[in-house]
Chain A
């Protein structure tokens, strides 16, 4: 194997990792701040795909505008979901919160899948591409401009999200809630607002992923299953509730799959990932970056 093959695999892995990082980062955020094991994360991804599809194809918005609309729409959808279900649930379940919230997400995902089927039918709503053309990365390797832009968008979103969490007052408040809820209340932070905002942010990151990858994964009632499993895989590998770890983990898993695909053949990349997961759970159950320190965005 020569060096350029390694480079090609590397690029493929990183491109793939961008999406995983976006999805897993949001998932880790929801667990780290709100203790929600969100099994409807793939559905949040699909909400983004559907919105981008309708905005771009039905209403003829430009690609960037369509992605923006879908991203903001996913944010609003997150607010509605949190206010309707989790905020209500939080008032009634104290001790069994983690289990109850998890079951609610499972229920939401089933309802969404069947609801989407009822409304939009079992039909793929995809596009061939947002942007035409390819980008020549190496003499032998060209990637679709679409992939490149989607990747840049996810990196941009991750950087913005990171700065928001680190540098702004509200981001700091979100981290504070993840570390000590009582301390957060005592300094005057309204937990309800932070919970709603957090869910909306997680939902927005997933929706952005769905919208920017519409050409690769068309909107379809059950298309959320795979992204959901992938993001769960990433957060399990790095340790639940660690956003920074989930972002790095997204890239690690992307690379792992890309190399496994090449060396073991198609279909085997999942086996490689799952073997890694099993080994990790056997020998370091807290995950690659798991530690005793509680906090959603801390090393």
Chain B
């Protein structure tokens, strides 16, 4: 479904991604893990069209999408939930969600999407009239993911949803992602929290200094000696 081939990208004079290749198949839950500054976020931004690649390509559903503006990529069915969430802070929860379905013209489809998202995150229903800027940290993540789902995307990119959340809330965000996965949404998740992440995804890529250094199924990665030494020494499992 998603193919990233030998991607090189960066900001200004700084190159961040060096020859990154990865792929996600329909219905898969894939994680991109690695330390801070490894280039995980830049990879997602490049896929979503916020950063233009210097070379290499991105193919989605068999068609090249690199170089397309972000709004067109979004219309092709890729939703990107950024680390900063990029909510419309002075708009209500409901308006944020409706904007998530901006590209859906059919009123009934829009309402269906809204019902589906509110069923998944009942909390958002309770806060429907509240301004996004007044929500708590966990609710904000829910809203960002919910907004990303409103367009009924084929692929969901999620950047560090656990960041800044209390462990209990991290769990509920992960549960929501798992539930989405069970419903058939394809997800590419970026995380620093290696151990927990590998327990919920099907497959993972490990990124360090702008390169993919390891890849495999979650079982393989969990058993990997290098990963255990480097990332899981002190990590407390939450699942």
Contacts and interface: CB of A to CB of B under 8 A. Distances in A.
Interface of A: 169, 172-173, 175-176, 179-180, 182-191, 293-295, 298
A186 B79 contact: yes
B26 to A, nearest CB: 21
A293 B74 CA distance: 27
B195 to A, nearest CB: 29
B82 A185 contact: no
A180 B99 CA distance: 12
B174 interface: no
Interface stretch (B13-21, B85-93, B117-125): B85-93
Given A187-B74, A187-B147, A176 B91 contact: yes
B103 interface: yes
A183 B84 CA distance: 10
B98 interface: yes
A294 B82 CA distance: 19
Contact of A182 (B79, B86, B133): B86
Interface residues of B, number: 27
B99 A186 contact: no
Given A175-B88, A295-B90, A185 B50 contact: yes
Residue from B69, B70, B88 having most chain A Cβ neighbours under 10 A: B88
B74 A180 contact: no
A293 B87 CA distance: 13
B79 A298 contact: no
Contact of B103 (A179, A188, A293): A188
B74 A295 contact: no
- The dominant DSSP class at the A interface is helix
Contacts of B89: 179-180, 293-295
A169 B90 contact: no
A183 B87 contact: yes
A123 to B, nearest CB: 47
A172 to B, nearest CB: 6
B100 interface: yes
B151 interface: yes
B226 interface: no
A186 B82 contact: yes
Contact of B88 (A169, A183, A185, A188): A183
29 contacts: A172-B91, A176-B88, A179-B88, A179-B90, A180-B87, A182-B50, A182-B86, A183-B88, A184-B99, A185-B69, A185-B70, A185-B71, A186-B48, A186-B70, A186-B71, A186-B79, A187-B99, A187-B100, A187-B102, A187-B103, A187-B151, A188-B103, A190-B69, A191-B71, A294-B90, A295-B88, A295-B89, A298-B90, A298-B91
B80 A186 contact: yes
A188 B102 contact: yes
Nearest to A293: B90
Interface string B101-124: 011000000000000000000000
B182 interface: no
A295 B75 CA distance: 25
Nearest to B147: A187
A179 B80 contact: no
B129 to A, nearest CB: 14
B95 interface: yes
A94 B50 CA distance: 15
A131 B89 CA distance: 46
A65 B124 CA distance: 47
Residue from B71, B75, B80, B91 having most chain A Cβ neighbours under 10 A: B71
A182 B99 CA distance: 13
B86 A186 contact: yes
B90 A188 contact: no
A122 B103 CA distance: 49
A191 B74 CA distance: 13
B103 A183 contact: no
Contacts of A293: 89-90, 133
B60 to A, nearest CB: 15
A176 B86 CA distance: 10
